[in-house]
Structure formats: structure tokens, C-alpha cells
Amino acid sequence: MSKRSVLKDYDQGGFYCEMLGSAERPLPDTLPLRKHLEEIGLASLKRRAAAAEDELYNLGITFTVYTEAEAIDRILPFDVIPRVLTSGDWATIERGVKQRVAALNLFLKDVYGKQQALKDGIVPKHLVLKNENYKKVMCGLKLPEDTYIHICGIDVVRDDSGEFQVLEDNARCPSGVSYVVENRHLMLRTFPDLMDNIGIKPVSDYGVHLLNALAEVAPAGVMDPQVALLSPGFFNSAYFEHVFLAREMGVPLVEGQDLYVDDDDCVYMSTVGGPKRVDVIYRRINDDFLDPEVFNKKSMLGVPGLMRSYLKGKVSLANAVGTGVCDDKAVYAYMPRLIKYYLDEDAILSNVPTNICGEKDALKYTLSNLDKLVTKPVGEAGGYGVVVGPRSTKAELEELKKRVKADPAGYISQPMIRLSVSPTLIEGKVEPRHVDLRPFAVTGKDTWVLPGGLSRVALKRGSLVVNSSQGGGSKDTWVLEEGGES
């Protein structure tokens, strides 16, 4: 019996396809992968996909959806057909991400320093100084290597023409890198034949790069810094990732109760062998819960006195306090200007055009075109609050109009981008599903970008929302080595 073809009945539906490209821009680089998929056949692909899902359960690779009271943990759905980036595509993304991270760090140094960009009107003052993530306590603090964002996730999409655009900056505690590495390990175990003679850039050295970068930003004079990862604990949605990253770096995973600040204003970790000083903390706790002496006084997750130690330069925090200013979707709209202002360069990766509803003309345009736009609350993450106008009912749009009118500064709107699609195994058939990409950049003295990143896939037919909390899944992301075969 002949094998049933994997891609024979696949229809990309008029979208740019990450596997096939488009009529104007075909992708010959993916031909080896397509041949391997046909050699495997659809029946074998389905069997191995089921085995991969079982392995995810067995390994405990999970996340939590807080809005679902009946479900504590669930696996992140994983699609076994990889998303492929050519070496040329990756070179553009890598340069664009490095440029963006450099501008973001310069912007934060300025925001908590001379505030020259605000004085020059590059960004409206109120967007920064009245932002809930702006932390005045950081003003005047000199950070090692002037690095505020040590770990950054830049959300990138591809449009109909095959061009990449930045959708969002994640500068606080970007999550998802554990899935990048574990997805690759899973593919190596389940589909080793799919990678035969295809040169793919590795991702397994992320922990080494992260640890080196964190060591580079240790307090002055510390030669062999002790790094620790600070987690809110077991019930956090990304706890699996915290365990994973601590293991990959070979550093202790601690909670607030494991740390204390002594009379010398240094941070110590309680161990069975006695107190041990901690020099660098990769914190996966939001600013407001870090130190009850300075922020939320009821916080049980943080470390009393931590900010006192930080402000005296006796411990380094990654990411720095106050980086959430750059997470704001309204500030995001000014990134091309900030890149030009600080680096005197044009943006390598353009923004999706954005209307800031806090501005009179943009508000008027948004309210008149809600049915054509994607409207987002500026402070939300995880896809919450996003309204896709062309796919919303009249009642939903009327309710949205009331919310935007009541709080214009709390919203932005963007045109609906025809996101690229990727072949995805759905209930035994291969169908197109929209995808985005989150490359992860690690910065100490300089910036390194993990090849590929997290490809998130909207598993619901026609959906543009790829977030795991909204029913999205992930794929392994292959960055092809220049020259093709390994």
C-alpha cells in the first residue's frame, strides 16, 4: 500500500506559507524537509505525533491557565511539522532584534537618567511618567554594562508579502524559551529522520549563553558570581520553565523565603551549609512583588530589603526593575523613532502601523473603524482583551466602543495583518494555521539571539490569536544553516 501524502491536499488559502512561500516568493530551501515528510507519510506522522504528545505529559512540560479553575496544568499543544526559516530570513530577524534591544536599553537608560528623549518630544512624557510600570526609585541608578533588559522576547509576524514586522516587545519577564529547547529535543527523539542531511542551527546552548550574560552584569569586583533564579513558586503558570532554566544554567532555583538581606545589605541564600551570598538574581517575579519594603507591602513572594541591596549595587537583577515601560503597547508605537533617535538607523524590522487611542485623531479613526481594526488594551498580555474587528459581532463592537471611549489611553488599534500560515496537523489532516515568532535575545556586554525562537500557532481555524492562554500551541523552529546540508 502506498503512503498517503502529507502535503498533497494542503491548501495555504491564499496566505504566505512558511513551508511553501508564495507564487511570487517560493521557498526552494524547504524542499529537503518536504521530501522527508513525504517519505514518512501521513499515517506515520499521526502515530508519532500521538507519541510526542504522550511524552509531553510524561515529562511534565506544562503551563497553567488561571482563568480555568478546573485545570491546574495542561501541556502546551505541540505540532510536529516544523516551521522553517532560511538563513537569509534569520539574518534579517537577528539583526533587527539586536538593533531593537540596543534601542530599548538606551531608552531605559535615558528614561531613568536625563530623560532627553522625553524633553525632545520623541515620546510623549505622559506615556512614560504616568505609566504604572515606570519606577521612580530607579532614577539615577547606574547598572552594569548599562543593561536593563537582559532577556528580551520580540514578537514578530510575517505579512502577505513575506516581510517581517514586530508586533510587540516583551521586556519584563518574557516566557516560552523552555518550549523552544524542549520542542527541539522532542523532535530529535521522535523524528530524527526528518532532520537527515538538513543543516539546522542548534538551540541547546541557551542556558550557557544566559549564564554567561548574567555573570557579565554581576556587581563590580565580583569575580565568580553566584547566580540564582527567583520564582514565585509551584503554582506560577511558568513554573516548569523556571525549573528548566535553573537546571540548564546549573544554578539554584529559589523562592523569596529562601533569600534574605543581612546588615551588610548583601543578599544571602539559606543553604544546608549555611548562608551563601547571591550576586545576580534572574527574577521571574513582577516588580510590585519583589520587595514589600518598597512596593506591595502585602507581598509574600519577594525579599524584604532586596531593593536596598540593589540600589547600593550589591546585587544585580535581571531584568532590571522598571523595564515594563517598554512592554507598553503605546510606547511600542514609537520604537522606529527611538531607533532613529538613539542609533541614527532606520528600523530593520518595521512596526505594525499603530493608532494610539490616547491621541485625538487616532481615537476618532479607531472608533470609526472598529469593524476593520484589531483593538488591544495597552497593559494586557497573553492575548487577553484583544478584539479582532472583522470577526466580531455588532454587540461586541458596541461594548468595545464604550470601553475605548471610557479609557482612550488604555487602548491602541492596528490594521488586521494577514499573518503567514504553516502546515499543521489538525485531527489527522494537514491544514494551514496562522503563526508568529518570538525570538529570545540575551544581553550582558553584548547581545546574542537564540536561533529561531518560539513559533506559536493558532490552532483554531481562522484564529489570529496564538497565545497559549487562548488555545494556541507551538512548533519547533528550524533555522537553516547557510549552505543547506549539514
Q: Is it the case that residue 73 has pLDDT exceeding 80?
A: no
pLDDT of 135 reads 97
Find the mean pLDDT for residues 403-430.
Answer: 93
Q: Is 145 left (phi over 0), alpha (psi -120 to 50) or beta?
A: left
Q: Is residue 93 within 8 Å of residue 439, measured between CB atoms?
A: yes
Higher pLDDT, 66 or 197: 197
Find the mean pLDDT for residues 408-418.
Answer: 90
pLDDT of 464 reads 81
Q: Which fold has domain 353-415?
A: Dna Ligase; domain 1 (3.30.1490)
And the C-alpha cell for 257?
Answer: 523565603
And the C-alpha cell for 427?
Answer: 485531527
pTM: 0.92
Higher pLDDT, 72 or 126: 126
420-469 pLDDT tens trace: 999 999 999 999 999 999 999 999 999 999 999 999 999 988 888 787 66
pLDDT of 121 reads 95
Contacts of 44 (CB under 8 A, 6+ apart): 3
Find the mean pLDDT for residues 130-141.
Answer: 95
At 323 the three-state DSSP class reads helix
CA distance 187 to 194: 8
Q: Is residue 418 within 8 Å of residue 432, measured between CB atoms?
A: no
DSSP character string of 425-445: EETTEEEEEEEEEE-EEEESS
pLDDT of 147 reads 98
At 486 the three-state DSSP class reads coil
Q: Is residue 354 within 8 Å of residue 333, measured between CB atoms?
A: yes
And the C-alpha cell for 299?
Answer: 507581598
At 350 the three-state DSSP class reads strand
- For the chain, the domains span 220-314, 353-415
At 358 the three-state DSSP class reads coil
Q: Is it the case that residue 70 has pLDDT exceeding 60?
A: no
Q: Is it the case that residue 44 has pLDDT exceeding 90?
A: yes
Map grid coordinates 534572574 to a residue: 282
pLDDT of 433 reads 96
**Cis upstream peptide for 319 (omega within 30°):** yes
pLDDT of 256 reads 97
Find the mean pLDDT for residues 103-112.
Answer: 98
Q: Give, rounded to a whole angstrom, the gap between the first and last alpha carbons of the chain.
A: 32
Instruction: Find the range with the poorest average confidence among 62-66, 229-233, 335-339, 342-346.
Output: 62-66
Q: Is it the case that residue 54 has pLDDT exceeding 90?
A: no
11-26 pLDDT tens trace: 999 999 999 999 888 9
pLDDT of 235 reads 85
Task: Quickly count: other Cβ atoms within 10 Å of residue 70's Cβ.
Answer: 4
Find the mean pLDDT for residues 100-129.
Answer: 96
Instruction: Find the range with the poorest average confidence among 60-74, 158-172, 221-235, 299-313.
Output: 60-74
pLDDT of 379 reads 67
Q: Is it the case that residue 72 has pLDDT exceeding 90?
A: no
Domain 220-314 has CATH 3.40.50.11290: yes
Write the single-letter amino acid at 348. I
Q: Is it the case that residue 270 has pLDDT exceeding 50?
A: yes
CA distance 21 to 162: 8
Confidence of residue 247 (pLDDT cuts 50, 70, 90): very high
Residue-averaged pLDDT of the chain? 92
Helix spans in 60-140 (H): 87-111, 116-119, 125-129
Find the mean pLDDT for residues 360-381.
Answer: 89
Q: Is it the case that residue 69 has pLDDT exceeding 60?
A: no
Secondary structure percentages of the chain, helix, strand, coil, to 5 = 35, 25, 40
CA distance 298 to 296: 5
Q: Is residue 282 within 8 Å of residue 244, measured between CB atoms?
A: no
Q: Is residue 450 within 8 Å of residue 180, measured between CB atoms?
A: yes
Q: Is residue 57 within 8 Å of residue 222, measured between CB atoms?
A: no
161-216 pLDDT tens trace: 999 999 999 999 999 999 999 999 999 999 998 988 899 999 999 999 999 999 99
Strand order in the sheet with 274-278: 259-261, 267-271, 274-278
Confidence of residue 485 (pLDDT cuts 50, 70, 90): very low
And the C-alpha cell for 43?
Answer: 499515517
Confidence of residue 482 (pLDDT cuts 50, 70, 90): confident
